[in-house]
Amino acid sequence: MNNSITLKESIDGVLKCQRKNGHPESYLIDLRRTYNRLLGHAERLGTEYLTDDLISQFLADSNHSRSGEYCYGRFLAHNRCIRFLESYLETRKVSIHKLAKPVKEVISDGLAEALKLYDQAEEASGLSKASLIKNRRPIRYLLEYMTSLGYQELSDIQPGDTIKAIEDMLEKHYEPTSLVTAISGMRRFYEMFPELQPFRLEIPSRMPRKRSIIEVYSEDEQDKIACQLSSPAISRRDAAICLLSFETGLRNVDICGLRLGDVDWKHNVIHIVQSKTQRPLNLPLRSSYGNAMVDYLLKERPDCNEDYFFLSVHAPYVKLNTTWHIVKAVVSAAGVETSGRLTGTRMFRNNAASAMLKKGVPLPAISEELGHKCQDSTMVYLSTDQETMSSLTLPLPKEGDEA
């Protein structure tokens, strides 16, 4: 690769461009952390420039640093950083748009033709672009696996191959809970072709769900976050967003979609229809986050015609797409570790449920505040309360006790 500046200079140039493009500091910190891994590879290779060997080695480093297992998020982060560098080296700029390169598909011609027919049928069904991409991915992995077995046509597929292909996906690309959301598209693919219909039963009706103890912040971490949220160093918008989520457990998508008319100041209540469940939710407007929301409206919110409550900082003022970077920046600034653990409003939601449990709030009341469809969804938060969990366990039998 023909470079005119060193790798370190290129990385500094990318970060400078991304800061100019308006990316938040939390994003730049994550980007710098990924580039530090690239610099480590460069040092081991003994090069000061971005070379083809360095790129190959860096992109191959796609396993989680702790578990050693394949990590799709790490794979994407490394690819993204290389694309930024290539763009900067070529133009001295970094586009704010996604640098999308087509994924190379290793699929035999006969199987690729079947995938093409499936794509046409899915596009005609009126599904969203996001759903089309999500449903297509496991089918592409399926056909790549079948190609690796030497198959050229759908008629080559044998009994048991589908199960093995799904096992391969779970090993290389998916967690069970991730694959379950795309398995319906795979089932439709099998129903489209007579050659595959005998193997439909090999596609599981459901994937096993991993049940683990839900993580929440410790009392010390909660105190640090609460202290940070009262700090003048945080913008009024970010303080209002974090307080609203931290105390109510409101989902990210519902915070972003909150409109001015959803807040009933006269009766101190927030009325929304939840994006995930399409069920109405009425939240009491408590003074803590209520005052923060008023403070944002009166002193910081841009004067514009947009009716979404929380808007971007810079013009054109539009609704937020996510609050993840806002929450992470606040939690990190509070001195709470975010690396390798759940971060964002999801963690705040877990914490809000745990706090209510510890205060003795009944499960039906917690379920109502969190906006769950049924109380069973709230039961998972019992794992956050060690005292409650201990009270539900059976004592060990003593010697001589009857079983």
Q: Are 289 and 244 in contact (CB under 8 A)?
A: yes
In this predicted structure, which of 48-62, 63-77, 368-382 has the lowest mean pLDDT? 368-382
Q: Which residues have a Cβ under 8 Å from the Cβ of 335 and sit 6 or more positions away?
A: 224
Q: For the segment 285-329, what is each residue's pLDDT rounded down to a tens digit?
A: 999 999 999 999 999 999 999 999 999 988 888 999 899 999 999
Res 392 pLDDT > 60? no
Confidence class for position 342, pLDDT limits 50, 70, 90? confident
Tally of domains within the chain: 3
Res 100 pLDDT > 50? no
Collapsed DSSP state (helix, strand, coil) of residue 21: coil
Q: 149, 169, 327: which is closest to 249 by C-alpha? A: 327
Task: Write down the pLDDT at residue 394.
Answer: 44
In a domain, 236, yes or no: yes
Is there a cis peptide before residue 397, judged by omega within 30 degrees of 0?
A: no
In a domain, 173, yes or no: yes
The amino acid at residue 145 is: Y
Across the range 13-41, mean pLDDT stands at: 88
Considering the domain architecture, whether residues 148 and 295 belong to the same structural domain is answered as no
CA distance 152 to 217: 52
In a domain, 188, yes or no: yes
Considering the domain architecture, whether residues 174 and 257 belong to the same structural domain is answered as no
pTM value is 0.49
DSSP for residue 76: H
The amino acid at residue 51 is: T
Domain span including residue 259? 219-388
The percent of the chain in helix, strand and coil, each rounded to the nearest 5, is: 55, 5, 40
Task: Write down the pLDDT at residue 372.
Answer: 65
CA distance 329 to 238: 10
Considering the domain architecture, whether residues 263 and 356 belong to the same structural domain is answered as yes
Considering the domain architecture, whether residues 190 and 246 belong to the same structural domain is answered as no
Across the range 141-166, mean pLDDT stands at: 92
Q: Which tokens in the block code for residue 211? A: 């049940």
Whole-angstrom CA distances from 48 to 37, 59, 94 are 14, 17, 21
> Residue 143, class by beta-carbon neighbours within 10 Å (0-12 exposed, 13-18 middle, 19+ buried)?
buried
Res 385 pLDDT > 90? no
Task: Write down the pLDDT at residue 393.
Answer: 43
Considering the domain architecture, whether residues 60 and 120 belong to the same structural domain is answered as no
Q: Which tokens in the block code for residue 71? A: 């990590």
Considering the domain architecture, whether residues 290 and 379 belong to the same structural domain is answered as yes
Considering the domain architecture, whether residues 166 and 60 belong to the same structural domain is answered as no
> Residue 190, class by beta-carbon neighbours within 10 Å (0-12 exposed, 13-18 middle, 19+ buried)?
buried
> Residue 272 is inside which H or E element, if any?
strand 269-273
Q: What is the CATH number of the domain that holds 278?
A: 1.10.443.10
In a domain, 153, yes or no: yes
CA distance 193 to 197: 6
Whole-angstrom CA distances from 160 to 140, 157, 199 are 18, 9, 8
Inter-axis angle of helices 129-148 and 183-192, to 10 degrees?
70
What is the share, in percent, of the chain residues with pLDDT greater than 70? 81
CA distance 292 to 297: 9
Tell me the helices (H) and strands (E) count for the chain, helix number first: 17, 3
Considering the domain architecture, whether residues 274 and 180 belong to the same structural domain is answered as no
Mean per-residue pLDDT of the chain: 82
Q: Could you say which of 202, 231, 258 is where a domain stops? A: 202
Task: Write down the pLDDT at residue 181.
Answer: 65
Q: For the segment 355-376, what is each residue's pLDDT rounded down to a tens digit?
A: 777 777 676 777 777 776 555 5
Res 40 pLDDT > 80? yes
> Residue 264 is inside which H or E element, if any?
strand 263-264
Considering the domain architecture, whether residues 270 and 240 belong to the same structural domain is answered as yes
Q: Could you say which of 57, 91, 125 is where a domain stops? A: 91
More confident residue, 206 or 156: 156
Q: Which residues have a Cβ under 8 Å from the Cβ of 167 and sit 6 or more positions away?
A: none
Considering the domain architecture, whether residues 243 and 196 belong to the same structural domain is answered as no
In a domain, 400, yes or no: no
More confident residue, 214 or 395: 214
Considering the domain architecture, whether residues 87 and 175 belong to the same structural domain is answered as no
In a domain, 102, yes or no: no
The amino acid at residue 47 is: T
Considering the domain architecture, whether residues 65 and 165 belong to the same structural domain is answered as no
